[in-house]
Amino acid sequence: MTEDHAPSEDSPHKTDPRLLELLICPVTRQPLTYDKDAQELISQKARLAYPIRDGLPIMLESEARSLDED
């Protein structure tokens, strides 16, 4: 990897919280809550937590974690 392409501590997988505010739950079409520590988007109505992997929200119901299993 060249020095120009070396990942920085800030940029490689950081997600812009303003972008996350625009996303809605694909199941309920309701707003999501961003859990920064868990790197998840939470849909309280659907009781699902959508993961954020490598800075990208995974908005597939099949990839979501059920909040009822906690």
Q: Positive or negative CA dihedral for 38, 41, 45, 48? A: negative
Region 6-11 average pLDDT: 39
Q: How many CA atoms does the CB half-sphere of 28 hold within 13 Å?
A: 13
Asked, for residue 46, whether it belongs to a domain, the answer is yes
| 25-47 per-position pLDDT tens digit | 999 999 999 999 999 999 999 99
Asked, for residue 2, whether it belongs to a domain, the answer is no
Terminal CA-CA length for the chain: 41
> Domains in the chain: how many in total?
1
Can you give the CATH number for the domain in which 49 is found? 2.20.25.10
Asked, for residue 37, whether it belongs to a domain, the answer is yes
Domain interval for residue 30 = 14-65
pTM of the predicted model over 0.85: no
Asked, for residue 5, whether it belongs to a domain, the answer is no
Asked, for residue 7, whether it belongs to a domain, the answer is no
